[in-house]
Amino acid sequence: MDADIVCVGFGPATAGFLTTLSKQLVNADGTPAVESAILPGMPPQVLCYERADDIGFGVSGVVTKARALRASFPEIKTAGIPMAAPVGEEKVLYLLDPHGASRRSAALLMADSLIRIFKFALPVENHALNLPWTPAFLHKHDGMILSMGQFMQWVGAQVQSTGTVQIWPGTPVAEALIDRTNVAQASPPAGSPGVSPGVSAGSETLQQPAAGTDCATSPSRSKVIGVRLLDQGVDKKGAPSDGFTPGMDIHAALTVVADGPIGPIGRQLDEVFGMPDGHHKRDWAVGMKFVVDLPEDTPLKAGTVLHTFGYPEPEIFGFLYVHPDRVASLGIFVPSWFDSPTRTAYRYLQHWMLHPYLWRYFKGGKLRSWGAKTLGESGKHGEPHLTGDGYARIGEGSGSTNVLTGSGVDEAWATGTQLAEAVLELLKAKKPFTRQNLDETYVKRRRASWVEAEGRVAEKSRDGFQKGVATGMIGMALAGLTNGKLSLGHAPVQPWKRIPTVEDYFAGKISGDEIAKLRDECKTKNVSLHGALMDKAGWPAIPFDGQLLVSHQDALLMGGKVQAPHGYADHVVFLHPELCEKCGARICIEACSGQAITPGENGVPAFDREKCVHCGACLWNCSQTNPENPERMNIAFRAGTGGLHSAEN
Ligand SMILES: Cc1cc2nc3c(=O)[nH]c(=O)nc-3n(C[C@H](O)[C@H](O)[C@H](O)COP(=O)(O)OP(=O)(O)OC[C@H]3O[C@@H](n4cnc5c(N)ncnc54)[C@H](O)[C@@H]3O)c2cc1C
Ligand code: SF4
Ligand code: SF4
């Protein structure tokens, strides 16, 4: 099938792109403002494919300054959007550990003692220090609290009502189609791999970015010519079965890649075209979020924003945003620099909720829905080649997220609008979507924008966390207060190089023999190890209440159920089973947000598609490197259907 423009993913970046584009494709009298190349006399045919089963099921992000959103919708009022509220009171809290179960450095323990000694003179309440001053860069004054799911549904309706754009949810893109016969006029970007001798001629598609992929392809000779959708009617391994329908090829002059931080198409292009010199995507966090009904007598007002650090582990950041009607979004981020082999976001989220400062607000509340998602934290370090012949990249997968301010929605949206303006300029000038033309229009706009300027300030702001939380916080403050001129720390190291074994991590708290016993018990029950280890290490038991504190399995069944349609291949694949067999840490099992990965048989984990929430934690946390590519792990995370069914997140 042919289209003029095909988009991969409908997150905030594509929403910004399509909002700007769709308004300008047709004149007020209904005639095309610009013409389609495939249907002369008609406006350009624009298609968008979204993996999740409906619009708004695959996104997250709730507090935003909304500068780019307001530029697109100058009349926007929070009152018109479900679950939206203007930002009100903002607080940053340092949470002390009331149980002594977390791992705190000597410096942090000393700071905790000082806070406790001088609490009479400090704003300390319920084991939490309310930071008396927070730098301006952390504030979201004049911004708004949103449910991105709700907002995306609203935007989706606006965009489709123009009649110029089609959005297809429940339709994952399997891969980009790459034509290697094209020779562009421009030279390859710095840092691209050289032209591979023997690069085949003809139009061919590349496989998913898995082990053994031939990635030695040069942007100067390759052109993205569209996308291939996912095969249907296949078994778990992808072999044709009942009702086999091969994924359709969509050919388009421009492919807009906006599939977010774990998108398989973005990662395919990263492999095929390489990253610019010195760029990498080694920083990430897995965010887990609950949407809850607060108790009827809650004192929290709509618009309240709380950010926390220090507990349940010093490395884990938390957030609470209050929507209208007593609904709140709350959650935590487990970052890549947290060197724990038991990185269970679910259990840590429960301990975070139970912190005395927060539990007084949550007690009596009820879980409505939940979700987990990766936050790409490499920022500008993670910027890939933004353009190539026939394609452009926008949003978080293009390195737009600001890692200093923790803001991603507005930035992703802004890059989408910049691309739309560039595309309209090129369409009007009847110029092709070559890398050079896209650089001169889209990249030029992006480089001149606030996204770029603020991204540069933020670029090294998180490097200090490689040396610990205290250094990290100082590094962030330095970068923020000096406009990025000063920073601390060093470039990130991949988790497989730094995460210790379970035995090393719990040394002094749990003996090797006890760990071996717990491991055997958990293996017999086919469950992950983290719960048993945390119990043993002194974490209090979770007082399940059937409302908000529920088992992980129950959460999968409550609001925001996980569903995966039949007839699709497994999208999580253990590439080298022999590496799993000898893997001691098995972090994929511990970190899985949906308990979709279990110990399995013969030492190789088992994957259950029907529990996967598409958070990407397994992809990042695998403790074994891929022998073919040291930047990749032993897990492939491919295009897949399903995930959570909730548009509240
Ligand atoms: C828990 C959490 C809380 C956050 N809170 C905030 C916040 O308060 N404020 C803020 O500004 N930012 C926040 N963020 C960050 C914000 O969510 C992201 O920066 C933003 O969503 C990025 O937008 P995007 O369009 O680039 O990518 P995404 O939002 O990731 O959208 C990508 C889309 O592509 C789809 N997709 C993926 N693969 C395919 C495929 N193969 N085929 C078709 N479709 C595909 C996905 O389903 C998804 O809908 C938060 C992130 C998390 C994880
Ligand atoms: S997928 Fe990675 S973390 Fe999981 S068992 Fe295999 S090698 Fe270990
Ligand atoms: S299997 Fe799915 S739910 Fe589990 S960690 Fe991987 S992406 Fe997340």
Return the residue whose CA atom lies nearest to atom 2 of ligand 3.
612
Which numbered atom of ligand 3 lies nearest the CA of 619? 6
Looking at residue 195, its pLDDT comes to 33
| Mean predicted confidence (pLDDT) in 260-264 | 95
Scanning the structure block, which residue is given the tokens 């406790």? 116
Per DSSP, the three-state class of 611 is: helix
CA–centroid distance, residue 641 to ligand 3 (Å): 13
- Ligand 2: which of 624, 633, 637 to mutate, most ligand atoms within 8 Å of CB? 624
Asked if residue 644 has its Cβ within 6 Å of ligand 3, the reply is no
Which numbered atom of ligand 1 lies nearest the CA of 289? 1
Looking at residue 198, its pLDDT comes to 31
CA–centroid distance, residue 398 to ligand 3 (Å): 22
CA–centroid distance, residue 583 to ligand 2 (Å): 6
Distance separating alpha carbons of residues 35 and 3, to the nearest angstrom:
12
- Mean pLDDT is lowest, of 37-41, 212-216, 359-363, for 212-216
For residue 613, give the nearest of 53, 46, 199, 235 by alpha carbon. Answer: 53
Which numbered atom of ligand 1 lies nearest the CA of 376? 19
* Whether the Cβ atoms of residue 94 and residue 309 lie closer than 8 Å to each other: yes
Asked if residue 377 has its Cβ within 6 Å of ligand 1, the reply is no
Per DSSP, the three-state class of 109 is: helix
Amino acid at 501: T
CA–centroid distance, residue 568 to ligand 3 (Å): 16
Which numbered atom of ligand 2 lies nearest the CA of 604? 5
Asked if residue 587 has its Cβ within 6 Å of ligand 2, the reply is yes
Asked if residue 156 has its Cβ within 6 Å of ligand 1, the reply is no
Asked if residue 58 has its Cβ within 6 Å of ligand 1, the reply is yes
pLDDT digit string, tens, across residues 442-469: 999 999 999 999 999 998 888 888 888 8
Q: Which residues contact 331 (CB under 8 A, 6 or more apart)?
A: 287, 288, 289, 290, 318, 319, 349
- pLDDT of 192 over the 70 cut: no
Q: Nearest ligand, CA of residue 262?
A: 1
Task: Specify the pTM.
Answer: 0.93
- Ligand 1: which of 51, 139, 419, 637 to mutate, most ligand atoms within 8 Å of CB? 51
CA–centroid distance, residue 341 to ligand 2 (Å): 12
CA–centroid distance, residue 60 to ligand 1 (Å): 6
Looking at residue 136, its pLDDT comes to 80
* Whether the Cβ atoms of residue 565 and residue 645 lie closer than 8 Å to each other: no
560: pLDDT confidence band, cut at 50, 70 and 90? Answer: low
Which numbered atom of ligand 2 lies nearest the CA of 597? 4
For residue 593, give the nearest of 631, 553, 636 by alpha carbon. Answer: 553
Beta strands in 246-313 (DSSP E): 249-257, 284-293, 305-309
Asked if residue 289 has its Cβ within 6 Å of ligand 1, the reply is yes
Asked if residue 9 has its Cβ within 6 Å of ligand 1, the reply is yes
* Whether the Cβ atoms of residue 248 and residue 214 lie closer than 8 Å to each other: no
Q: What is the DSSP letter of 274?
A: -
pLDDT digit string, tens, across residues 466-508: 888 888 888 888 888 888 888 887 778 877 788 888 999 999 8
Q: Is the peptide bond before 312 cis (omega within 30 degrees of 0)?
A: yes
Asked if residue 635 has its Cβ within 6 Å of ligand 2, the reply is yes
Return the residue whose CA atom lies nearest to atom 8 of ligand 3.
615
Asked if residue 403 has its Cβ within 6 Å of ligand 1, the reply is no
Per DSSP, the three-state class of 428 is: helix
Rg (CA), the chain: 24
Q: Nearest ligand, CA of residue 564?
A: 3
Q: Nearest ligand, CA of residue 591?
A: 3
pLDDT digit string, tens, across residues 210-259: 333 333 445 457 899 999 999 999 999 999 999 999 999 999 999 999 99
CB-based burial, 345-354: b 16+ in 10 Å, e otherwise: bbbbbbbbbb
Paired with 130 in beta bridges are 93
Asked if residue 579 has its Cβ within 6 Å of ligand 2, the reply is yes
Asked if residue 638 has its Cβ within 6 Å of ligand 3, the reply is no
Give me the sign of the Cα torsion angle 476, 482, 487, 488: negative
Return the residue whose CA atom lies nearest to atom 14 of ligand 1.
61
CA–centroid distance, residue 238 to ligand 2 (Å): 21
Asked if residue 288 has its Cβ within 6 Å of ligand 2, the reply is no
Distance separating alpha carbons of residues 348 and 552, to the nearest angstrom:
12
Looking at residue 137, its pLDDT comes to 80
CA–centroid distance, residue 592 to ligand 3 (Å): 5
Asked if residue 184 has its Cβ within 6 Å of ligand 1, the reply is no
CA–centroid distance, residue 555 to ligand 1 (Å): 22
H or E segment at 376? strand 366-376
- pLDDT of 187 over the 60 cut: no
Q: β-pairing, 223-229 with 2-8?
A: unpaired
Asked if residue 222 has its Cβ within 6 Å of ligand 3, the reply is no
Q: Nearest ligand, CA of residue 608?
A: 3
Average pLDDT, whole number, for the chain?
89
* Whether the Cβ atoms of residue 309 and residue 252 lie closer than 8 Å to each other: no
362: pLDDT confidence band, cut at 50, 70 and 90? Answer: very high
For residue 577, give the nearest of 567, 588, 569 by alpha carbon. Answer: 588
CA–centroid distance, residue 461 to ligand 1 (Å): 22
- pLDDT of 183 over the 60 cut: no
pLDDT digit string, tens, across residues 100-154: 999 999 989 999 999 999 999 999 999 999 998 877 888 888 899 999 999 999 9
Asked if residue 336 has its Cβ within 6 Å of ligand 1, the reply is no
| Tokens standing for residue 401 | 């997220």
Q: Packing angle between helix 409-428 and helix 450-458, nearest 10 degrees?
A: 140
Return the residue whose CA atom lies nearest to atom 1 of ligand 1.
287
